[in-house]
Amino acid sequence: MTSPRRPGPLLAATLFGAGMGASLFAASGAIAQTSASATTGAWEICSAMAGDKDARLACFDLWAKQQKAGTNPTPSATATAPAGTVPPVSAAALADAKPVTPPPADSTLPATRVIVDADLRCKDPEYSDLSRFWELERATQCDTFNIRGYRPISLSFVTSDTVNKQPLSPAVDHGATTPIDYARNEARIQLSVRTKVAHDLLTRGNSSAVDSLWFGYTQQSYWQLFSPDLSRPFRSTDHEPEVLYIYPTRADLPGGWKLRYTGLGLVHQSNGQNLPLSRSWNRYYLQSGFEKDNTYRFTAKFWQRIHESDGKDDNPDISDHIGRGEFSGAWNINKDHTVSATLRHTLSNSNRGSLRLEWMQAIGNADSKKSQLRFHTQLFTGYGDSLIDYNRKRTVLSVGLSLVDF
């Protein structure tokens, strides 16, 4: 007569790891077919616990451990087991078995994402645009001194209602002596990059939020591409280096809005020209960023110009034209379309400033892992589209391509 076949380690591991009631019931049926004596064994007691699924699962778990250790699964309250093995458990003990609650999962990252490469975390679309752009959380951190985009990197065709053929400034010897016959149609090139210099300056010990120090540089050029008679010169090129500090916040505001960060910056802007066309200024600013459901963004910025002596001031009235504050809002209509508006104002009786409206449309797939190229349309009206035009009002329409970093 052939001895009953003992359930092997593979079956025990299956019972221990499945965690599903249906799988456990099917496995217990297989045991019944291979051993006649098993009909009165511990597995039958576990199967009878139909009213409490958690207790039933824990019962089978204990029974499976016995099988793995090679002990006899007979329900005996007095049986003993050799040293180093799992002793058999009585029917009463199996009936009283309680489920073991697993430890809580790490909630640092979204449940659907596990980011291993640190250089990819600040690109992870599971987080909001502001979180990734300024790396406000530990889960969005990238290394320092990596080159990243700042403002859009763009190439555009530009047409305007007027062009500054003879720039003037109230400063002595800061006006062009002869006009140049520039065309109203031209090209515009913008390069803008930044790098994180340091982080955790004031947030060391914070389990989630991280502050950061950044250096940025933006260059914008107007190119007379359609003026062959003038040898296609660059009409204006502005250089704008800046240093800024970003501190993360998590303040809830009415209407579902959240204050996400505050920042302090120092910026220099110059067109790099000699007299009489030299234009430049220095200012420091305070800004704050807000968002709602990663659909709407709003940024408020206020600045104060750093005073220069009369003999060194290329443009003494620049604040009364370009402004002293900026308010910018953006709406992510969907993954492929974003519209935004930026308003600058002098915050004084001069009542000047500018308005910039923009629409960005993704080209191809807007997935951040593939392409960040956008079709970019922009309408500007007011003062300060370039430094040479700081005191000349004009309306500019541009159409082109831009690369964005989020």
R_g of the chain computed on alpha carbons: 35
Spatial distance between the Cα atoms of 61 and 19, rounded to a whole number of angstroms: 9
pLDDT of residue 69: 63
Give the C-alpha separation, 326 to 147, whole Å: 26
Whether residue 291 contacts residue 258, with contact meaning beta carbons closer than 8 Å, is answered with: yes
What is the Cα–Cα distance from 327 to 314, expressed in whole angstroms? Answer: 26
Domain 123-403 has CATH 2.40.230.10: yes
Average of pLDDT values for 298-302?
Answer: 98
Helix axes 9-18, 21-34, angle to 10 degrees: 160
Task: Please report, rounded to a whole number, the percentage of residues in the chain having pLDDT higher than 70.
Answer: 72
- For 320-379, the pLDDT digits (tens) are 999 999 999 999 999 899 999 999 999 998 889 999 999 999 997 645 456 789 999 999
What is the distance between the alpha carbons of residues 46 and 40, in angstroms, rounded to a whole number?
11
The yes-or-no verdict on residue 25 having pLDDT over 50 is no
pLDDT single digits (tens) 163-181: 999 999 999 999 999 999 9
Q: Count Cβ atoms within 10 A of the Cβ of residue 177 and give its class: 0-12 exposed, 13-18 middle, 19 or more buried.
A: exposed
What are the residue ranges spanned by the domains of the chain? Answer: 9-95, 123-403
Q: Is 329 exposed, middle or buried (0-12, 13-18, 19+ CB in 10 A)?
A: middle
